[in-house]
Amino acid sequence: MASSIAQDTEAPADFGEFRRGWKVVLASLLGIGLGLSPMPFYTMGVFAPHLSKEFGWSIGQIMGGLAVTTITVLFAAPLVGVLATRIGVRRVALASMLLFGLAFMTMALSTSSLTQFYVTWAIIALVGAGTLPITFTRAVNHWFDRRKGLALGLSLMGTGLFAMICKPFLAIIIADHGWRAGYLALGALPLLIALPTAYLLLHDTDDHEDAAVRTTTPGGLTMREALRDWRFWLIAIALLPISFALGGPVPNLETMLSEGGIDAGSVVALTPLIGLFALIGRLVGGWLLDRFWAPAVAFVILSLPALSCWLLAGGGLDMTTAAIALSLVGFALGVEYDVVAFFVARYFGLRSYSAIYGALYVSFALGGGIGPLVFGWAHDRQGSYDAVLMGSLVVLVIASASLLLLGRYRSYAEEAIRP
């Protein structure tokens, strides 16, 4: 009886949150999904063979573009977090989506100059930093409380959707019009889809229906206070190897699977599994985060791809083992962003959410950015990915387990805005 009463009392509130906030969730889904986080990461491996053939670059040199993106994000992400806090998510996101789409299209002008290639990636990362989850998840966190995890999961589904459709989409474009047209088509997506949707639907807070938002400010730690908190550094340190181990294989999958014995046609069929299971991970992860202790959820899901590393390092892949390996990696990638956003909201509050998330994103971006480069270098020098995969197996388990030390959530009351 008690449980049924609880469900009855929670349902209207849950429905009310989504009734008011679905527009922000949709705008965030498209903005994140067609933004800086997934687009270079999931498409670099598609373009790599074409760039290598035309310009003579090695896989490691091409993956260096992701490293350049990472280095730029290290400086840009915290700045974007501060800007989103001071001038609002909407302004930052709209400007960044416009510039990001235009900058991405300039990749079609690439020449044999590696310097130009890297500089272009740096510009893309600089102007596109406002499309990272740092900005959009701040708005989502303001609109949702009871179903924060599910709302974040739905918002971050865009990365999984893009990962699932980008490779078949690019395969058709490149086959018919060449790789340069592929960059033009990708750059047009945020301009034609994400930008107009965000212009119409994205708002920082519920200005129309929630008068309390205008008379209170979110509680929580300041950025300076968070930097003195051991939990911040635990999360930051754990994120680095986790994002390295999860992000390193993805842009290298085409090469990894081909050398493991999977034919080209099957590779095209298998790689969308990353996106499909990232979508499933977003939904299942968000549901689990709302109902169970987040560090335990993170430990279980983020350590599962250790099995993927073992399978991929074994060589002699078949369709079944490859599908299992990719599915586990995709599922974990689908949860990773959600976990970080959830941790920030529950352990540090919303007062300086974007700034704290931006600082933590540095660790995430650093690991995810150097991962593909290190994996590419390992392949160039050793002729296989086996050693780096086995190293990733170990660090995934250790780093994920360290999150269990975070302890209980904190509660922060809103503070009245002083006139």
pLDDT at 6: 37
Q: Which of 292, 388, 284, 377 is nearest to 328 (CA)?
A: 284
Phi-psi region of 88 (alpha: psi -120 to 50; beta: other; left: phi over 0): left
Tracing tokens 């009463």 back to the chain, one arrives at: 5
Q: Which of 42, 26, 35 is nearest to 80 (CA)?
A: 35
Whether residue 248 contacts residue 45, with contact meaning beta carbons closer than 8 Å, is answered with no
Query: Which of 3-7, 15-19, 72-76, 239-243 is predicted with the least confidence, judged by mean pLDDT?
Result: 3-7
User: Residue 87: which pLDDT band, with cuts at 50, 70 and 90?
Assistant: confident
Rounded Cα gap, residues 363 and 339, in angstroms: 14
In this predicted structure, the answer to whether residue 30 has a pLDDT above a threshold of 90 is yes
Rounded Cα gap, residues 247 and 249, in angstroms: 6
Residue spans of alpha helices (H) in 178-221: 179-189, 195-201, 212-215
Per residue in 344-368, pLDDT tens?
888 998 788 777 887 887 787 788 8
Tracing tokens 């994002």 back to the chain, one arrives at: 243
pLDDT at 214: 41
Tokens of 251: 């842009």
Residue 220 φ/ψ, nearest 5 degrees: 140, -175
In this predicted structure, the answer to whether residue 183 has a pLDDT above a threshold of 80 is yes
Whether residue 297 contacts residue 402, with contact meaning beta carbons closer than 8 Å, is answered with no
Rounded to a whole number of angstroms, the CA Rg of the chain reads: 21
Residue 27 neighbours by CB distance under 10 Å: 27
In this predicted structure, the answer to whether residue 169 has a pLDDT above a threshold of 60 is yes
Tokens of 201: 């639907």
Alpha carbons within 13 angstroms on the beta-carbon side of residue 1 total 0
Amino acid code (one letter) for 120: T
Residue 408 neighbours by CB distance under 10 Å: 9
Phi-psi region of 261 (alpha: psi -120 to 50; beta: other; left: phi over 0): left
User: Residue 218: which pLDDT band, with cuts at 50, 70 and 90?
Assistant: low
Domain ranges of the chain: 21-405
Q: Which of 332, 338, 266, 343 is nearest to 300 (CA)?
A: 332
**CB contact set of 377 (below 8 Å; sequence gap of 6+):** 60
pLDDT at 67: 83
User: Residue 15: which pLDDT band, with cuts at 50, 70 and 90?
Assistant: low
In this predicted structure, the answer to whether residue 299 has a pLDDT above a threshold of 90 is yes
Amino acid code (one letter) for 137: T
Tell me the C-alpha to C-alpha distance, in Å, between residue 33 and each of 86, 115, 132, 199, 284. Answer: 24, 28, 9, 16, 18
Quick one: 21-405 is in which CATH superfamily? MFS general substrate transporter like domains (1.20.1250.20)
Rounded Cα gap, residues 281 and 384, in angstroms: 29
Tokens of 392: 């990733």
Phi-psi region of 414 (alpha: psi -120 to 50; beta: other; left: phi over 0): beta
How far is Cα of residue 245 from the mean position of the Cα atoms in its chain? 14
Rounded Cα gap, residues 281 and 150, in angstroms: 11
pTM above 0.85, yes or no: no
Residue 395 neighbours by CB distance under 10 Å: 18
**CB contact set of 22 (below 8 Å; sequence gap of 6+):** none
Rounded Cα gap, residues 240 and 94, in angstroms: 29
Residue 216 φ/ψ, nearest 5 degrees: -135, 160
User: Residue 123: which pLDDT band, with cuts at 50, 70 and 90?
Assistant: very high
